[in-house]
A = this chain, B = another copy of it.
Amino acid sequence: MVPRLTTALTGPLLELERRILDNDTLVERWLRTQWLEHTPPFYTSVDLRNAGFKLAPVDTNLFPGGFNNLNPAFLPLCVQAAMSAIEKICPEARNLLLIPENHTRNQFYLMNVARLATILHRTGLNVRIGSLLPEITAATTLDLPDGQKLTLEPLKRIGPEGRRLGLEGFDPCAVLLNNDLSGGVPELLQDVNEQFMIPPLWAGWHVRRKSLHFAAYQDVAISFAAEIGIDPWLINPEFEVCGKVNFHERAGEECLAANTDRLLQRMRARYQEYGIESEPFVIVKADAGTYGMGIMTVKDASEVKNLNRKQRNKMAVMIDRYVVGGFYRVNTARGIDENLNAPGMTFKPLAFETGCTLPDAQLDPDAPPNRFYAYGVVARLAMLAASLELERAAPTEQ
């Protein structure tokens, strides 16, 4: 079952989807040639917002959660894409260490970790989970609601000089982070230089800035839009950046107010141009960090009550450069919050029932296979932006 968003079936979005469908060969080839120059992240998830007249990424996560929310029918796609990714990064790998977030009570997240471990195991890797949690002092097996089991083991330094990460009796050649390092790089992970670290440490939120990602995305959106002849605004989220903002010390509020005004004015002009009735709104986010940290919405009270808009979050999950599936997040409780993994949250994932790779020219642009194809294309643009962002952020000695 897929939510029907009636407003999304009219206006500019249909034109955008039609343009993407009519140019699908061009789109695929353009993306393929981009990947000749840029290396896709090992895995990515992208939150898309479909406003009905505009389709754009709102969050690009390099430590994706939500594999457990994908349609199980897509599992073979995940395995095949993971084989391709492993082959490129560490083809000789035998043992892989997966380091998750420090959630032990968040069943949603733990089911995601278990599913991810299953996918990686299927590529021919011994996969074990190394926990950063001090309370995990011995192998601890958790029974998950979906019947999966997950064994967390204490992460430790190994090797003659202690420059490797491992577990008791487990020396991995590759380490896969599913921990976004929002709190910085734990000492235990520092100065590890004998193993593949995937993704690189500078993909963590202690280094990443949303403003740099969306700047990179803007470059991608402009050249893609030129390629298929659309207005980049239809796929590009407008943004402005402020420096330090501290709501308690009331620092930076002027910048925030001014930028919000500037954005709202630009948007009103565009809405007029496209004859869009809706009232524009701005999402204020911290430039670093995930989990909807410091998120607020600047819009009319009427908008706050509009649950339809709250249903318009899509999540597309990618491994290597392949879109392996997606799901809707229907969250009446926290509609504008991109937070997928917060403990106790109430969103209900609705897996896409068809894939994102098989548009059908015989169907309408808004038929699920075609709409999902458009979602997959925009999600891949965001992934491409993330790879530009990581290239720009890479330490010069790398």
* A174: min CB distance to chain B, Å: 12
Number of contacting residues on A, CB 8 A?
38
Contact B87 A355 (CB under 8 A): no
- A358 and B91 in contact, given A29-B125, A124-B31 (Cβ under 8 angstroms): no
Chain B residues near A87 (CB, 8 Å)?
32, 35
- Is A76 located at the chain interface by the 8 A CB criterion? yes
Q: Are the C-beta atoms of A91 and B36 separated by less than 8 Å? A: yes
Which residue of chain B has its CB nearest to the CB of A73?
B73
Copies in the complex: 2
Contact of A80 among B32, B81, B123 (CB under 8 A): B81
Q: Is the CB of A358 within 8 A of B122?
A: yes
Knowing A80-B357, A322-B83, say if A124 contacts B35 (CB, 8 Å): no
Most buried by B among A24, A28, A76: A76
Q: Does A308 contact B (CB under 8 A)?
A: no
Other 20 A-B pairs with CB < 8 A, given A25-B121, A35-B91: A24-B122, A25-B125, A25-B126, A28-B83, A28-B124, A30-B124, A31-B124, A32-B86, A32-B87, A32-B91, A32-B124, A33-B91, A36-B91, A36-B92, A76-B77, A76-B355, A77-B80, A79-B358, A80-B80, A122-B358
The 7 A-B residue pairs with the shortest CB-CB distance, nearest first, are A28-B124, A29-B124, A76-B355, A79-B357, A76-B357, A80-B322, A84-B84
